[in-house]
Amino acid sequence: MEPGLQIDNLDKKILSLITKNARIPFLEVARECKVSGAAIHQRIQRLMNIGVIKGSEFILNPSKIGYHTCAFMGIFLKKASLFDKVVQMLEQVPEIVECHYTTGQYAIFIKIYAKSNEHLKRILHDKLQSIPGISSTETIISLDESFKRQLPVE
C-alpha cells in the first residue's frame, strides 16, 4: 500500500462490498458494516478523494452490442521517443479500449474490440498501420475471456 494512505478495516469491508456489486445501495453497505448511511457516504467520498476508488461505470458486454472479436496487440516503435505521439493517435481509435506502456519486447500493448475478424483486419490496415512511429505489430486474438475481477482488498 502507498505510504501515507490510511485504509482501515471498515474501508476494506466497504471496498469489498462495492467491488462485488457497484450498484449496492449505501444503506445496505451501512447495514453490513454496522454503521450509518452517512458514514458510508463519507468513507466512499474520502476513498474517492485519495484516489483509491477511481470511479464507477456500467460495463457493456461487447458481444451483445455487436463486437464479437477481442484482440490484444503488441506494438513495436521505430523510436522510444515517439511513444506519446503514438499513444495520442491510438486514443483516436474508438475500438481500442486499453493501452499499456510495457516492458519486454513491446513498447505498447493494447486491447481492441472489433465486430468481426474482417473488421479487425480493417482496423489494423486502415487505422493502425498508418500511424507514423509504429514499426510493426503482433496481434493475438482472444477466443474467450475466462474471468475478469477486481483485486482483493487486504
For residue range 86-120, what is the model confidence (pLDDT) as tens digits? 999 999 999 999 999 999 999 999 999 999 999 99
Q: Which domain, by its residues, includes 73?
A: 62-142
Q: Are residues 42 and 66 in the same domain?
A: no
Instruction: Find the CATH number of the domain harbouring 40.
Output: 1.10.10.10
Confidence class of residue 2 from pLDDT cuts 50, 70 and 90?
Answer: low
Total Cβ atoms within 10 A of residue 78? 13
Instruction: Give tens-digit pLDDT for 22-32.
Output: 899 999 999 99
Q: CA torsion sign, 121 to 127 to 129 to 133?
A: negative
Confidence class of residue 132 from pLDDT cuts 50, 70 and 90?
Answer: very high
Q: Are residues 111 and 68 in the same domain?
A: yes
CA-based nearest residue to 76, from 118, 141, 139? 139
The pLDDT of residue 57? 83
Instruction: Give tens-digit pLDDT for 37-79.
Output: 999 999 999 999 999 999 888 889 999 999 999 999 999 999 9
